[in-house]
Amino acid sequence: MAQIELDNIQRIFQLGDSEVHALQDVQLRIDAGEYVSVMGPSGSGKSTLLNLLGLLDRPNDGHYRLEGRDVTTLSADEQARVRRERIGFVFQSFHLVPRLTAEENIALPLLLAGISPHDRKARVAQALDDFGLAKRGDHRPDQLSGGQRQRVAIARATIMQPAMLLADEPTGNLDRATGEEVTQLLEALNGRGVTLIVVTHDPHMGERAQRQIRMEDGRIDSDSKRPAP
């Protein structure tokens, strides 16, 4: 059984009088621990696919089974729980809460999950250490560099030990060197067994993934897998 199973997924947006087929008949299997890049021109449906995978959006038709469970029919609250426990998001613009320190930003998912302050503290300290942010815990986002911000965001995305990481242009707002650093960090996490799905414009980054999905007009155009090294 694959970790992610998409069957006949349709996503249609209503724009005025016209319908836009953001996703058409998408059929996809992703196994646990895979490293997948999703590429394609703007409007090809790759972001919609990521939102669907992250349970931020629902398909108009079709089925999405996550770890064997049909998640399309879950209630909003149940979906929130799945997001909380199984899915980590990394965004292009980091999405850190500006008034909270790095520590507090990383602790947010633990806060939402109702983890006790004592456990929270230990886990956040560990995360700060792991991501090389030990001295930046009490800094607010505006006191951090772009790379540091994205590392805080990644620490936040992984603090609940999710089964998969969904990254939407994670290096889009970073310079080349910092982008490379962040990419390596994500790949290292993937190396430890987390499924990594990256949506990117950057062919250089896309080619690093073992499996590359190319999208066009809401359909999967090509799906190529490089043999494991």
Cβ distance to another protein smaller for residue 34 or 168: 168
Q: Which one-letter amino acid corresponds to residue 124?
A: V
Q: How far apart are CB 118 and another protein at their closest, in Å?
A: 12
Q: How far apart are CB 110 and another protein at their closest, in Å?
A: 9
Tokens in use for 20?
């836009």
Cβ distance to another protein smaller for residue 39 or 160: 160
Cα(144)–Cα(216) distance, integer angstroms:
37
Q: How far apart are CB 164 and another protein at their closest, in Å?
A: 13
Cα(130)–Cα(155) distance, integer angstroms:
8
Helix axes 117-130, 102-113, angle to 10 degrees: 130
Q: How far apart are CB 177 and another protein at their closest, in Å?
A: 25
Q: Which one-letter amino acid corresponds to residue 119?
A: D
Q: Are 59 and 72 in contact (CB under 8 A)?
A: yes
Cβ distance to another protein smaller for residue 35 or 89: 89
Cβ distance to another protein smaller for residue 174 or 212: 174
Q: How far apart are CB 55 and another protein at their closest, in Å?
A: 9
Cβ distance to another protein smaller for residue 38 or 212: 38
Residue 142 makes CB contacts below 8 A (sequence gap 6+) with 98
Three-state SS for 75?
Answer: coil
Q: Which residues would be at the binding site for another protein (CB under 8 A)? A: 51, 54, 56-57, 76-77, 80-85, 87, 89, 91, 93, 95, 97-100, 104, 108-109, 111-114, 116-117, 156, 160
